[in-house]
């Protein structure tokens, strides 16, 4: 927890220091543009009908791109736009923006963009075009930003593989009326162009799945909320194991978390699948018990009285 707070404080100081490079005039302009985006940013999620949401998305996108053209906008936080996910890469190479547009109960698309950190503060932007609806094998597809498997991202993890930076993205997608999805995707750059997906997932420890995939997708019942996170202390991606409520695992809308956990561990080049993260299991019908104070002979075990 302490290391997280130190990192957060350092990052805030880093952004604050670099934001000083934004001129006073540009800073005022960005604040005004940010204020003008607050309503459409909410309306694109909460608009009463589809036409209202489409209109809000169009207004927001045009105003947002116009704001990003301001010199050194990379360092401006836009932190009042609560419906828009904004993540800085851990090495500050880029900033990624993602949000969702609800078309109807069964069609939800993600929009977004990658803003690169440029030396002169000018705008270098890659739009993210959601093509997941037209992609048959999402788990196996490697594509650029124009064929993106849309998600709203909430975490970026940076690893190195043979001197190449590999950015792992955790995200979610309110896919349709029956299912939600969570993604573990990988972003890297080839010739300074973004590529999503790749041979970075190793399932050799699970004979039921193919050994390599471009990304990992959790698809589950709409009302369920299985956990998918990165545990910094364990240095692992942790995800809740899914089971079918009706013993029909092929029907994704029946899958819910069962309280058990699996995960992925980075081995220097790939994320290796770990089928079981925690091995301590309480026997059925019994509750967890603390360590007994008495040993087998009935004597007090003083070691159990020590504060850990």
144 and 193 Cβ atoms separated by less than 8 Å: yes
| pLDDT average, residue stretch 119-124 | 96
The secondary structure of 195-254 as a DSSP string is: EE--S-EE-TT-TTS-SEES-EEEEEETT----EEEETTTTEEEEEEEEETTS-TT-GGG
- Return the pLDDT at 4: 41
Mean pLDDT of the chain: 86
Higher pLDDT, 158 or 279: 158
- CA distances (Å), origin 107, targets 110, 177, 264: 10, 8, 30
- Residue 123, SS3? coil
Q: Which of 173-187, 224-238, 280-294 has the lowest mean pLDDT?
A: 280-294
- Return the pLDDT at 106: 82
- Integer Cα distance of 277 and 119 in angstroms: 42
Give the global pTM.
0.83
- Integer Cα distance of 201 and 123 in angstroms: 33
212 and 218 Cβ atoms separated by less than 8 Å: no
| pLDDT average, residue stretch 72-100 | 96
Spacing of C-alpha 3 from chain mean position: 21
- Return the pLDDT at 10: 44
pLDDT digits (tens, 9 = 90+) for 37-65: 999 999 999 989 999 999 999 999 999 99
């Amino acid at each position: 927890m302490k290391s997280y707070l130190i990192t957060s404080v350092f990052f805030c100081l880093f952004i604050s220091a670099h934001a000083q490079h934004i001129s006073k005039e540009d800073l005022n302009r960005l604040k005004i543009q940010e204020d003008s985006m607050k309503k459409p940013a909410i309306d694109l999620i909460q608009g009463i009908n589809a036409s209202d949401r489409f209109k809000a998305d169009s207004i927001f996108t045009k105003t947002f791109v116009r704001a990003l053209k301001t010199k050194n906008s990379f360092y401006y936080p836009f932190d009042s736009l609560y419906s828009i996910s904004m993540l800085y890469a851990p090495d500050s190479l880029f900033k990624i923006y993602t949000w969702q547009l609800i078309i109807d109960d069964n069609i939800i698309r993600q929009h977004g963009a990658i803003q690169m950190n440029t030396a002169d503060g000018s705008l270098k932007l890659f739009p993210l075009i959601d093509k997941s609806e037209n992609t048959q094998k999402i788990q196996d597809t490697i594509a650029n930003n124009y064929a993106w498997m849309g998600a709203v991202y909430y975490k970026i993890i940076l690893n190195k593989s043979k001197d190449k930076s590999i950015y792992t993205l955790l995200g979610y997608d309110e896919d349709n009326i029956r299912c939600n999805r969570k993604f573990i995707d990988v972003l890297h750059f080839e010739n300074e162009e973004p590529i999503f997906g790749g041979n970075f997932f190793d399932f050799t420890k699970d004979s039921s799945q193919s050994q390599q995939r471009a990304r990992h997708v959790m698809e589950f019942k709409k009302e369920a909320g299985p956990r998918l996170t990165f545990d910094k202390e364990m240095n692992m991606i942790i995800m809740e194991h899914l089971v079918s409520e009706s013993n029909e695992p092929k029907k994704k809308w029946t899958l819910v978390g069962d309280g058990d956990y699996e995960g992925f561990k980075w081995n220097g080049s790939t994320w290796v699948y770990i089928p079981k993260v925690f091995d301590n299991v309480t026997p059925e019908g019994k509750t967890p018990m603390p360590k007994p104070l008495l040993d087998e002979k009935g004597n007090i075990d003083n070691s159990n009285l020590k504060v850990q």
